[in-house]
Chains A and B, each alone.
Chain A
Amino acid sequence: MPKLTIDGQEIEVDASMTVLQACEQAGAEVPRFCYHERLPLSGNCRMCLVEMERAPKPVASCCMPVGDGMVIHTNTDEVKKMREAVMEFLLINHPLDCPICDQGGECDLQDQAVAYGCGESRYTEEKRAVSNNDYGPLIKGTMTRCIHCTRCVRFSSTIAGTSELGGVFRGEHLEIGTYVGNTITSELSGNMIDLCPVGALTSLPYAFKARPWELKKTESIDVLDGLGSAIRVDSRGGEVLRIIPRLNDDVNEEWLGDKSRFACDGLNRQRLDQPYIKKDGKLQAATWDEAFGAIADKVNGLDGSKIAALAGDLVDVEAMTALKDLLASLGSNNMDCRQEGNAVDPNVRASYIFNSTVAGIEDADALLIVGSNPRIENPVLNARIRKRYLEGGFKVGVVGPAADLTYKHDYFGADATTLNDIASGKHEFAKVLKGAEKPMIIVGAGALMRADGAAILAASKAIADNLGMVKDDWNGFNVLQTSASRVGGLDIGFSPKDGGLDTVGILDACGDGKVEVLYLLGADGMEAAKLSDTFIIYQGHHGDSGAHMADVILPGAAYTEKNATYVNMEGRVQRTSLAVFAPGQAKEDWAIIRALSAALGKTLPYDTLPDVRGRMAEINPVFATTDEITPAEWTDFGMAGDLQLKPLSSHIRNYYMTDPISRASETMAACTAELLGQGGETERTGTDG
Chain B
Amino acid sequence: MNSSGEAFAFTPENQEAAKAILAKYPEGREASATMPLLTLAQRQNDNWLPREAMDVVADMVGLAPIRVYEVATFYTMYNLKPVGKNFVQVCTNISCLIKGSDDVFKACKKKLGIGNGETTPDGEFTLLEVECLGACVNAPMMQINDDFYEDLTGETTEKVLDALAKGEAPAAGSQAGKRVGCQPAGGLTTLIGED
State the A residues within 8 Å of B (CB): 157, 162-170, 178-181
Which of A157, A162, A165, A170 interacts with B73 by CB under 8 Å? A170
Q: How far is the CA of A162 from the CA of B3 in the complex (A)?
A: 22
A167 to chain B: which residues have CB within 8 Å? Answer: 70
A179 x B1 contact (CB < 8 A): yes
A169 to chain B: which residues have CB within 8 Å? Answer: 73-74
B69 x A180 contact (CB < 8 A): yes
B65 to chain A: which residues have CB within 8 Å? Answer: 180
A163 x B74 contact (CB < 8 A): no
A180 x B1 contact (CB < 8 A): yes
Return 30 A-B CB contacts under 8 Å, by A number.
Answer: A157-B64, A163-B66, A163-B67, A164-B64, A164-B66, A165-B66, A166-B66, A166-B67, A166-B69, A166-B70, A167-B70, A168-B69, A168-B70, A168-B73, A168-B74, A169-B73, A169-B74, A170-B74, A170-B76, A178-B66, A179-B1, A179-B66, A179-B69, A179-B70, A179-B73, A180-B1, A180-B3, A180-B65, A180-B69, A181-B1
Q: How far is the CA of A180 from the CA of B4 in the complex (A)?
A: 13
Looking at chain A's contact residues, the main secondary structure is: loop
B73 to chain A: which residues have CB within 8 Å? Answer: 168-170, 179
Chain B, Cβ-Cβ closest to A162: B64
Q: How far is the CA of A169 from the CA of B65 in the complex (A)?
A: 15
Pairs A-B, 9 closest by C-beta atoms? A163-B64, A166-B66, A179-B69, A168-B73, A166-B70, A170-B74, A169-B73, A180-B1, A163-B66
A165 to chain B: which residues have CB within 8 Å? Answer: 66
CB of B68, distance to nearest CB on chain A (Å) = 9
CB of A585, distance to nearest CB on chain B (Å) = 52
Q: How far is the CA of A170 from the CA of B69 in the complex (A)?
A: 12
Q: How far is the CA of A178 from the CA of B3 in the complex (A)?
A: 14
CB of B63, distance to nearest CB on chain A (Å) = 8
Chain A, Cβ-Cβ closest to B64: A163
Q: How far is the CA of A403 from the CA of B70 in the complex (A)?
A: 27
B51 to chain A: which residues have CB within 8 Å? Answer: 180
Chain B, Cβ-Cβ closest to A165: B66
B window 68-84: CB within 8 A of A: 69-70, 73-74, 76
Which among B3, B67, B69 has the highest number of chain A CB atoms within 10 Å?
A: B69
Chain A, Cβ-Cβ closest to B55: A180
Q: How far is the CA of A501 from the CA of B48 in the complex (A)?
A: 69
Chain A, Cβ-Cβ closest to B76: A170
Given A162-B64, A170-B73, A180-B1, 6 extra CB contacts under 8 A: A164-B64, A167-B70, A168-B74, A169-B74, A170-B74, A179-B69
Q: How far is the CA of A163 from the CA of B51 in the complex (A)?
A: 17
Chain A, Cβ-Cβ closest to B58: A163
CB of A120, distance to nearest CB on chain B (Å) = 34
CB of B73, distance to nearest CB on chain A (Å) = 4
CB of B60, distance to nearest CB on chain A (Å) = 16
CB of B8, distance to nearest CB on chain A (Å) = 14
Q: How far is the CA of A178 from the CA of B70 in the complex (A)?
A: 10
B window 38-61: CB within 8 A of A: 51
Q: How far is the CA of A68 from the CA of B3 in the complex (A)?
A: 54
Which among A163, A178, A179, A181 has the highest number of chain B CB atoms within 10 Å?
A: A179
